[in-house]
Structures are given as C-alpha cells and as structure tokens.
Structure 1
Amino acid sequence: MNIEQARFNMIEQQIRPWDVLDQDVLNLLSIVKRENFVPAAYRNIAFADLEIPLPGGERMLAPKIEARILQELAVKKTETVLEIGAGSGYMASLLAHRGRSVTTVEISPELAEFAKQNLAANGVTNAQVVEGDGARGWNEGAPYDVICVSGGLPIMPQEFLEQLSIGGRIAAFVGTAPVMKAQIITRVDEKQFRVSDVFETLVAPLKNAVHPSPFRF
C-alpha cells in the first residue's frame, strides 16, 4: 500500500467533502500519522472510512468524524484540553498539536497503556493519559478550556458544564440510538451555555455514561 497516497485520498475524498475546510486541520492530518495509532492488525485500513477495532472491544472513530470535531473545537495554543476516552491516543495527539496541554482519561487499563505507548512513540510530550472513569468529567485540572468527549452520552452530565471555563467548548455525541447529535456547547458566562448541533451520527456510549431518569413526575 502507498501510505501517503492513502492518506491523501482520506483527506481529499472523505474529510474535505465533510465540510472540513480549515487548512490547519487538513495539514495536521498529514503531520500526525494515523497509521501509527492503529493496532498492527488493522494498519492496512488505517485510512478507511470506518471505525477501527481497538483492544477491549472499543472502536476508533471514523477519520471524518475526528477531523470535523477537531475543526469545530478550534483549539488555541494557549488552551488546556480534557479528552474523555483516550482510545488509541490519536485524537489526544491531534488535540495536543493544537493546544497547550491535554489530559485524556481512559477507563480501560489496556487502552490507557496502548494510548500511552502510542503518544510516547510519536513524540507527543504535552498529553498525559490518566486511567479512570471520566463519565462525569474529570475535576483534577478543571476548569478546562476545551473538553472533547470521544464516546456517546445519553444526556450531558452537569459536571461537564461545571468543569468548563468561560468561553470554553465541549464537543460531545449526545443522545441514544438510532440517531445522536454531535454538539458543540460553549460556555457564555457563569450560567449560560450555547448549544450548536453540528451533525447527526451514532457512536458507542461511554462506559458508565449517565442515563436520564426513567421516572416522570
């Protein structure tokens, strides 16, 4: 396989048509080598338009979804980032190239170790992997300027909103099957948040994700 041609095709045929037009984001997809974050058995489909299996039964998001979220978050060099769901470490690497520092929280010990190894092997020094349950966010280091939730949330827990700095943004996949909304939630001030629906999709929920109460009053 011609890796560089496959990378070019991914960017031009999958990602750009998905309204990812920020040239800095497109350039970053050439700099951060996606194939280095994919399990060896799936390296030949690193650039395919699909979710790639990860250790422990988890899955890596499709490239166009990762790229679109990265574009919509518009991370600045001065900003601190929290990611929930490290996976392979690929999204954390993209975020680290754009932001000041990244804390990525992973509930699976196997995946946390996989992400740590991938980040170290690819020279990413401003991202740390923390093993833990981030279904309600991660208070240590809060408030964050950017929060990226790399898994589904049936509802948005209040804790995430409280851990966001004023002017900060959350990217999250909110809702349940068959359709979820990729949302960007911006904290306007202490009490106000602005919600923007970016696209519809379906991703696996976070482990221990908060569900709405079944009771009606």
Structure 2
Amino acid sequence: MDEVEKLTSWCQDNCLSMNVSKTKELIVDFRKRQQRPYTPLMISGTPVERVSSFKYLVVNISEDLTWTSHIQTQVNKARQRLYHLRQLRKFRVSPAILKTFYSGAIESVLTQCISVWYVNSCSQDCKALQRVVRLAERISGCVLPSLQDIYLKHCKSRAVKIIKDSNQPGNCLFILLPFGKRFRSLMAKTERLQRSFFPRTSGS
C-alpha cells in the first residue's frame, strides 16, 4: 500500500494521472496459511479491480503462475494461422516459402517470450504446442525445429546479451568461477525457481 501511495504522489508531482479503470490487482500468494480476505487496493480513494489473470505485453500471467491460459491463447492463435499455410500449399507454393511463412507467422506466435514460460509448462500444454508444430510439418512437408530447441536457442541468446550489457540489472547474476570457464550456479530452494531462466542459464 505504501508503494502505491508513493507512486500516486510521484505521478501527481510530475503532472501525471493514473487510470484506475485500466489498473488491475493480481495477488500471487503460495503461503499455506493465506491471509483472507485481502485489503482492497485503493488509488486516490477508488478501489482497483482484482483479477485472477492479466495480460502483460504479450504474456498472460495468472495468480497461480501456471502458463496454461497463456499457452491456450497462443495455440488458438497459431491454429487460426494454419489456414493461411494450407491456402499457400493449395497454390503450390514451394516448401521453402511455406517454411518461411511458418517461421514468421506461426512459430513467432508459439515462441513469444518462450524463455520465460516454456520450462515451467506442464506436459499437457507442451504437447498442445508440439501438436501445432507437427500439423504444420504435415501441411508444409518440411522438417521444423522443435520448441525445445528453440527454447534453448532463445535462452542462450538472451543470456549472452545480458552478459555483454553491464547496465542490464541481471548482469550481476552471471558470476564466473575462479577458473573462468563456467558461471556460478544460483541457489534455488524451490523447483519453480530452479527451473526459471537465471538459475538454469547461470550454471550452464
């Protein structure tokens, strides 16, 4: 609550206003003894709507931090674009062009922010994603990269960019061991944290 009041005061001091109707409250609480009911969040005397999931940029974040909602949304969007892939095949477009279309219009949807959510997705959601890839393979007649390979590639690329940018907040999390060939692994007490981006990439 103090942070919200400070933000509201800062906005007022800088001639800005917060749109309460577009502001949402999402509570993430994994404690066994959760405090109920939670005190409503207020901004300038107006209560903020509490939601169970919220779309931040292109990622759907839910209060239980599972990715089923996000993956279902992306799978449905990708399946709609498979129609255009079928139409291109009907026009006897070359496999190379079909693969290019898949990469730009379908794979890009399936892999948005994949380094954030893929590794903590349940097996059922991963299978739903891979079914779209296999269906695109049958339509295009091309061998397409698996999402696991794309995930590893994205993680490596993102880690390299963070390491090279000393102003990046996550740069300090990549600490080389004394012999200078590997990074020090970050300690993680929970499996969810252990499987997240920084612990997985810092020790690789």
TM-score (norm 1): 0.22
Hey, which of these two has a bigger chunk of helix by percent? Answer: 2
Hey, which of these two has a bigger chunk of strand by percent? Answer: 1
In our comparison, the structure showing a higher alpha carbon Rg is 2
